[in-house]
Structure 1
């Protein structure tokens, strides 16, 4: 079919338009390629020429600043300080021994450091920087920098190192960092390349290890050009890493410092809780240690002194130590019996000074007995026989159930090392663990916090806070992360009968405020801050019948490790509980004489938010307290850290 001239003309126009469109696209594409080629060949020619010569370009990781740690008021607890160091890259150094010999003419190198560095150089990849020495002076740093042309592979660097400005106060809470070791790499499943950097610091204990990934941050990197002898010529590019996140603790540094000072040279622990939020305001453990020594690399002598000390300064007794709670456990048994209907508040039990079970006598601490005793008097005077009787009525499993409701036998999720679960025994537990049947004698021992029962100072503080409020108080240590408030856990009602709870609370009040109370001499006389509490003394040895017949040996006449543990738990103010305190003095003797005075002083320090007036103490005690206050060495937080505090 013959096409008309009109159709032919239209077809030609279509072909021309398509040709122009395709041609335009081709020209645009060629233009873009040309511009990119010009950029690569002219503007970026030097960079890509260097990148092509791989032996002249190094990529080095940049460790990020570790997150800082503050207390609840913004006072610095863990800081970063400048650290001048010298590093070597083996592949750039050539003759390592020759370079080190030159370096030794400029900087003194400790033989131990040098030996460690040589081993590290041999075992690490040739391109990985190895720290030869650190913590050098500015003058030494400058000498090395000036002579760098003669020191191939050697680079003076400025890094950051951890520093704990409050020394012993936070050693057990915050812990410390140290260089990553082969053991660390073997036990943690972490592929972070930062861990391959020699002497990179990671958390070893306490919050530093529990919050390691939060505090560590992520690595940056830099590209550097080196010449034929390994000297750094220039930096080609840098990508900064992300710094670690900052933590704010629930701890009050002023109170923490006071607690540590007040515990003094004792082998002891104390915990202070805010009963409204569960915040741990202080967690003291003595004796303590300087965590900065571990950051720098503790000497064999210093470490031997710590491990050889019978008071165990490395152990965090506030959460790790577990002790028979002694008579501080009696509130658990009392509340369990009331809730089960096994006893009425005014019902009495006769105490002749012992209870006979089979052919054995279970003694009360008061040899002559307490006579007729009701619940209030049993707590006030700490009668053992009353609790022997109650325990047989309800059995150990009901006691264990109440103990767990009050927080005992629970491993709380707080960011400290080796937090203990304690032990609340049951019939099933003994059969499973010991392969033995539960005995009535076991129940009697458990009723006064002896036998198999174990609790930590933290758990005892939680128990006391729950008794004070009837609420599920849960301890919190991290208050905020990067200024983001962390949730308060628990807080729900525990479901206790208010009248039964009040009976127990009144008994605890009379312990400290009734003339016949076991802690009356350690009372608070300021009406607004009246304290409720309970003394406890737990035996660590068996007293034989023969010893009882001739007279029980006084604690003061026994070797230290055979003396009783002293305990005291308390909350205040009685009418409006704000804080709960637990104190354990290892082998301290009686709870009323060794632990109660410490707890009373801590309560007042916390409530007054500083040194309390002497009028808060009993009249006859004021001269001793005044002398004690003068002797305590406390940190000056008003001028602390020369500006290293955060608003």
Structure 2
């Protein structure tokens, strides 16, 4: 069924690519105007002005939306579920990268509603920036708090229950081609799930144009054009774009996804541990959004690689220390383990291999509030600006706002955001001890600055990942030859949506990360896909 925000891919002459807005994680962006998150800033007024609490809520909503923290943004509205779906569909399906949302001066209506106008600058990958204005309405609730009064027109004034947007791309016949690491031409026909990557490569150069159309939800009839982008000309169209993709790994990844996805949305990245070169990037469905490198997901328990690193770095725990794993632990809200499992008197190693949420959360006081984010940035490059060669999302680990959010961040929930590229990179860093910025074009620049992990921590993490395969939740990989290490993850999406399943793995010089939307658990959903990939390509790339 088509997603409610957009329709299906079609091709016509001249080659116009109509993209549907699929229900996937949104392309996230750097928050603009962090100053809006604290104080009154430009909204400061006297006692007769808009309620400061309302204005602060509007600023926080816009900052969360801009930074890709969609569950947090949606939670500030009167309809969290629909709000999260629409925000996700809108930005992801229109290939919007790094939106900038700038608030203006607030006003108060006679009925008490506070309105905060804002300017939206939505950069559409490979085309240009779509700029428009809209408004955030806020109403006081019965408990005295302020919430964003959710409406579709908040996202864009023309978005409604009857009308939606569709992105159309016009690609010139002379658009540049891409070649893999061996010099062979890469084709979307031969590697269907690579289409979003190839599209990002080719439309980033000359030879592309397009438009955002307003269309009827019922009939698909075009009712208007919001913005038009002129096709660029004059570039070296006959010069192929060299990429780091390995055709053997890409083919194996696509076959594994097709065989084991069960019709669910899947994203997978495999990269070299020694230099960060991306060997495979698989997206299912193949059309539309490149969730493998631009998606934003809670990484769930795969994030315990970073949490464990933070704890081991400061000698806050050792693998052999007893850290009890009860069924439940309450920190503002009740946290539990998958299937409410428990492991009494378990060691920290056991907590890791069985992915015990409550044990990790119980260690939260051994880390400072900013420490997890600092470790992610300093040792893993997460949250720094990456230049991989195509638009990407580079992760976010905000400082927790309270103890409940800190507890959630320990297990890769809350406002922690990542994607398969990020988690494959985290896995590679754990395996080697050194962060290498992922890249899909050989000449991609690297402006990141990181420190290597101590060899002691690397050794401990590698042993813990190996034990997860031999004795823990990643047993699905146990029959593979070689020193395979892994970590599974289960990430909550919402109360009424099945969890996403994650699995990251390392073998030799390759790190892999896979997420299966609505996969429930990582071992059962992402595990067979990663196993299929590693079994099909037994040798590391040269």
Q: State the distance in 1 between where 2:532 and 2:448 align.
A: 28
The structural deviation recorded for 1:266 is 2.9
Residue 454 to residue 65, structure 1, CA distance change in 2 (3 Å): closer
Task: Note the alpha carbon deviations across 1:570-621, whole angstroms, 9 max, x for none.
Answer: 101xxxx3000000001111100000111122123333379xxxxxxxxxxx
- 1:250 pairs with one of 244, 247, 252: 244
Match 1:397 to one of 337, 362, 370: 370
Of residues 447, 456, 477, the one that matches 1:522 is: 477
Partner SS for 1:371: coil
Q: Distance in 1 between matches of 2:191 and 2:344?
A: 52
Distance 2:533 2:330 in 1: 40
Structure 1 residue 259 corresponds to structure 2 residue 234: no
RMSD over aligned CA atoms reads: 3.0
Partner Cα separation in structure 1 for residue 448 and residue 465 of structure 2 = 22
How does 1:275-354 map onto structure 2 within 5 Å?
Answer: 275-288=273-286, 313-354=287-328
d(CA) in 1 for partners of 2:183, 2:448: 26
Contact (CA 8 Å) 1:259, 1:284: kept in 2 or not?
yes
Partner in structure 1 of residue 407 of structure 2: 444
Unaligned runs of 5+ in 2: 1-171, 213-228
- Equivalent position of 1:421 in the other structure: 394
Q: Find the aligned partners of 1:362 and 1:441 in 2 and give their Cα distance.
A: 10
Q: For 1:182 and 1:402, how far apart are their aligned partners in 2?
A: 41
User: CA separation in 2, counterparts of 1:592 and 1:316?
Assistant: 23
Deviation by residue 1:54-107 (Cα, 9 ceiling, x = unmatched): xxxxxxxxx9965442111121126xxxxxxxxxxxxxxxxxxxxxxxxxxxxx
Matched residue, 2:537: 606
Alignment CA distance shift 1:490-1:604 (3 Å): farther
Q: Which residue of 1 aligns with 2:492?
A: 539
Task: Say which SS state the counterpart of residue 600 (structure 1) adopts.
Answer: helix
C-alpha displacement at 1:477, in angstroms?
Answer: 1.1
1:26-425 alignment runs, 5 A limit: 67-77=176-186, 166=190, 168-175=192-199, 181=209, 202=232, 216-217=235-236, 244-264=238-258, 265-288=263-286, 313-357=287-331, 360-365=333-338, 367-404=340-377, 405-417=379-391, 419-425=392-398
Do 1:335 and 1:504's aligned partners in 2 also have CA atoms closer than 8 Å? yes
- Quote the offset at 1:247 in angstroms: 2.3
Q: Specify the alignment match of 1:454 in structure 2.
A: 417
| Preserved contact between residue 270 and residue 581 of structure 1 (Cα < 8 Å) | yes
**Aligned in 2, Cα 1:507/1:351: closer, same or farther, shift over 3 Å?**
same
- Partners of 1:336 and 1:342 lie apart in 2 by 8
* Shift in CA distance, 314/367, structure 1 to aligned 2, threshold 3 Å: same
Q: Secondary structure at the match of 1:257?
A: helix
Matching residue within 502, 512, 519 for 2:459: 502
Aligned partner of 1:475 in structure 2 is 438
Q: Give the superposition deviation at 1:411.
A: 4.2
Give the Cα separation in 1 of the matches to 2:277 and 2:210: 36
Q: Secondary structure at the match of 1:370?
A: coil
SS at match of 1:318: helix
Q: Could you tell me how far 1:366 is from its partner in structure 2?
A: 5.0
**Aligned pair count?**
345
Q: Give yes or no for contact 1:568–1:595 (8 Å, CA) kept in 2.
A: yes
Q: Following superposition, which runs of at least 4 residues in structure 1 exceed 6 angstroms of deviation?
A: 490-493
| Mapping of residues 585-596 of structure 1, within 5 Å | 585-596=516-527
Alignment partners' CA distance in 1, 2:254 and 2:207:
28
- Alpha-carbon distance between aligned partners in 1 of 2:448 and 2:394, rounded to the nearest angstrom: 21
In 2 relative to 1, CA 585–357 (structure 1 residues): closer, same or farther, beyond 3 Å? closer
Q: Matches of 1:445 and 1:315 in 2, distance apart? A: 28
Distance 1:440 1:172, change over 3 A: same
Q: Separation in 2 of the partners of 1:271 and 1:279?
A: 10
1:564 is displaced (CA, Å) by: 0.7
Q: Please state how far the C-alpha of 1:179 moved relative to its aligned partner.
A: 6.7
The TM-score normalised by the length of structure 2 is: 0.58
TM superposition shift of 1:495: 3.1
Q: Per-residue deviation at 1:180?
A: 5.4
Match for residue 465 of structure 1? 428
The residue aligned with 2:67 is none
Corresponding position: 1:564 with 2:499 = yes
- Rounded to whole Å, the distance in 2 between the matches of 1:416 and 1:491 is 16
Structure 2 SS opposite 1:441? helix
Specify whether residues 247 and 375 from structure 1 end up closer, same or farther in structure 2 by C-alpha distance, changes over 3 A only: same
Q: How big is the shift at 1:343? A: 2.0
Counterpart CA distance in 2 for 1:276 and 1:539 is 32
**Which deviates the most, 259-268 or 589-598?**
259-268
Q: Distance in 2 between matches of 1:332 and 1:182?
A: 41
Matched residue of 2:389: which SS?
Answer: coil
Contact conserved, 2:388 with 2:437, CA < 8 A, in 1? no
CA contact (8 A) 2:476 2:531 kept: no
* Residues 335-356 of structure 1: per-residue CA shift (max 9 Å, x gap): 1112123223322112221223
**Cross-structure match for 2:78:** none
Per-residue deviation, 1:496: 2.0
Greater helix content: 1
C-alpha contact 1:472 1:490 (8 A) present in aligned 2: no
Distance 1:411 1:586, change over 3 A: farther
- Any idea what the Cα deviations from partners look like across 1:187-244, whole Å, max 9, x if unmatched? xxxxxxxxxxxx9965xxxxxxxxx98xx22xxxxxxxxxxxxxxxxxxxxxxxxx64
Displacement, 1:490?
8.6
Q: Normalising by structure 1, report the TM-score.
A: 0.49
